[in-house]
Amino acid sequence: MENSFADKVFFCNSGAEANEAAIKLARKYSKEQVSPERFEIITANNSFHGRTLATLTATGQEKFQKGFEPLVPGFKHVPFNDIISIHKSITKKTCAVLLEPIQGEGGVVIPEQNYLKEVRELCNEHNLLLILDEVQTGMGRTGKLFAHEHFDITPDIMTIAKGLGGGVPIGAMLSTDKAASSFNPGNHATTFGGNPLVCAAAVATIETLLEDGFIIDQCNRMGKYLKEKLDQLKEEFPNLIVDVRGKGLLLGIEITRDGDPIVRACLERGILINCTAGNVLRLIPPLIVQQKDINRLVDVLEEVFERSF
């Protein structure tokens, strides 16, 4: 909390659980403190928020929902990076807007610099909570402790997990006092949430991450180095690579074909990457990655790209 906007934190075991907590808190706060009619949450197309029933409903991708209908009522999906669509979707039932500051699973999509600021203003104007899902983008991944810092805004609620425990399962929902005031003891809980073992791992992770800013600096330096190398690959393979984008060590290479065969070919050569949105290769190396590791990654990508022609 010391290093964030938040006053209160709720601990759980995963990113999906953190988002469940955020959805429940947003509904309870808005019903009790704004209007009993409010329960709807606006989320983005191509978003990813987890695989529990409410979070897969919040997720704006049908492939994660198929077979699990009926879905949870009260979610509206709008195009990401389109402020007018959010504006048009707000009704007297809306209670919150839930977004990833940078879409990960959606294909490493970075919004326009002003987008989140405008969303923040819209939320203020309509008394909506802004929930940011930083499960993937948080904990230094994009070169700042939290990705929303790139956009000069703060949310009312933020969810984190993944890197938080440095490999042990922990998630957290962080909130302002105002929003958190609607959760009373017993409203939400989980047996293992906040247990001393995983919290000790999270404390050690955060201390290491913030120690002299070293790891986040390293993430920025290595992210810049990797991006430069990928830009060179883009020049070398103009018919294959459409775009290289990202922040810090969350990078995407958009290609003109299905990415799965490339992911498989990289795996055969000992390099683990994945493909999101069908044709965006996503690279999320550890924050402690070294230049020599990046050189090897780029060599393998170059070899695989050459063979895919």
Ligand X SMILES: Cc1ncc(COP(=O)(O)O)c(C=O)c1O
Summarize as ranges the residues that interact with ligand X (CB under 6 A): 14-16, 19, 48-50, 100, 104-105, 133, 135-136, 161
Q: What distance in Å separates the CA atoms of residue 19 and residue 161, rounded to the nearest whole number? A: 10
Q: Closer CB to ligand X, residue 100 or residue 156?
A: 100
Report the 10 Å Cβ neighbour count for 32.
12
Q: What is the DSSP string of the chain?
A: -TTSS-SEEEEESSHHHHHHHHHHHHHHHHHHHT-TT--EEEEEBT----SSHHHHHHSB-GGGTTTSPSPPS-EEEE-TT-HHHHHHH--TTEEEEEE-SSBSTTTSBPPPTTHHHHHHHHHHHHT-EEEEE-TTTTTTTTSSSSGGGGGT---SEEEE-GGGGTTS--EEEEE-HHHHTT--TTSS--TTTT-HHHHHHHHHHHHHHHGGGHHHHHHHHHHHHHHHHHHHHHHH-TTTEEEEEEETTEEEEEESS-SHHHHHHHHHTT---EEETTTEEEE---TT--HHHHHHHHHHHHHHHHHT-
Residue 61's identity, in one-letter code, is Q
* 133 in catalytic set: yes
Q: CB of residue 169 vs ligand X: minimum separation in angstroms?
A: 8
Residue of 5, 11, 39, 48 with catalytic role: 48
Give least dist CB 90 to ligand X, A. Answer: 23
Q: Which residue is nearest to ligand X (CB)?
A: 15
Among the listed residues 28, 144, 162, 227, the single catalytic one is: 162
- Residue (64 or 237) nearer to ligand X, CB: 64
In angstroms, give the least distance from the CB of 160 to ligand X.
9
Rank residues 38 and 100 by Cβ distance to ligand X and give the closer one: 100
88 catalytic per annotation: no
* Cβ-based nearer residue to ligand X, 50 or 223: 50
Q: Which of 133, 156, 227, 247 is catalytic?
A: 133
What's the min distance (Å) between Cβ of 296 and ligand X?
25
User: Closest CB to ligand X among 250 and 301?
Assistant: 250
Q: How far is CA 31 from CA 166, 195, 275, in A?
A: 36, 31, 40
CB of 270 to ligand X, least distance (A): 23
Is 144 labeled as catalytic in the residue annotation? no
**What is the nearest approach in angstroms of ligand X to the Cβ of residue 16?**
3
Residue whose CB is less far from ligand X, 100 or 254: 100
Enzyme catalytic residues: 48, 133, 162
